Amino acid sequence: MDTKRKFSPITLLLHWLIAISIIGMSGFGLYMVKTKSFSLFHIHKSFGLLVFALAITRILWRWKNGFPEPVRSLTRFEHLAALWMHKALLACTLLMPLTGMLFSGASGHGFGLFGLEIFPASAEHAANGSVVPNNAALSALGQNLHDFLGYVLLCLVALHIAAAFKHHMIDRDDTLRRMLGRDCAS
């Protein structure tokens, strides 16, 4: 379990796996969309499913373990800001893959895990050979939410990183050291 002085190896592993995955998936997703690299979408979807499993695991761990106790006394505003930031990050890491699955499934493209089909692609094809959506409205909703949440998540990650550096360089507390797995003096 986590303490004020040190995070558990499970907390650290889940945090850093999610952080690296979210940053990597965001960059990969932006690259695919900007370059119209449609052949890479199956890779993005497969890793998205892995991130989904990690997100569920992290949420269950956080639920069991609770939110971390601050390493120093915080003002009420700081405490609420930290709590809501962590909740928003957890929610977005869960909602990003869910909206991606909604978009992909409703669009008729389906999704799977490295070739293992989980939700099948539509059997219907338009005259030009393109896939016919299973539900165009849900597909558009999924795509819009996935895009929007992607940018929200990147902003939250940037704020989270900025807060970690603020704790380290301005407040000079052990928050960042604890997140790096170091034992703290607090």
Give the start-to-end residue ranges of the domains of the chain: 9-113+134-179
For domain 9-113+134-179, the CATH superfamily is Transmembrane di-heme cytochromes, Chain C (1.20.950.20)
Tokens of 34: 């900007």
User: In the prediction, which pLDDT does 46 show?
Assistant: 96
Q: What is the pLDDT of residue 167?
A: 87
The model carries a pTM of 0.88
- Contact, 72 vs 84, CB < 8 A? no
- The pLDDT, as a whole number, for residue 51 is 95
- Long-range contacts at 86-91 (CB < 8 A, ≥ 24 apart): 86/62, 88/156, 89/153, 89/156, 89/157, 89/160, 90/55, 90/58, 90/59, 90/62
> Bridge-partner residues for 135, per DSSP?
none
Task: List per-block mean pLDDT (blocks of 10 residues) for the chain, which spans 186 residues.
Answer: 82 94 94 92 95 95 86 87 94 96 93 91 74 91 97 96 92 84 71
CA 159, distance to chain mean position in Å, is 14
- pLDDT attached to residue 111: 92
72, 173 in Cβ contact below 8 A?
yes
Closest alpha carbon to 89 in 26, 22, 11, 41: 22
Calpha distance 175→168 (Å, rounded): 7
pLDDT number for residue 70: 80
Report pLDDT for 143: 96
CA atoms of 103 and 78, how far apart (whole Å)? 36
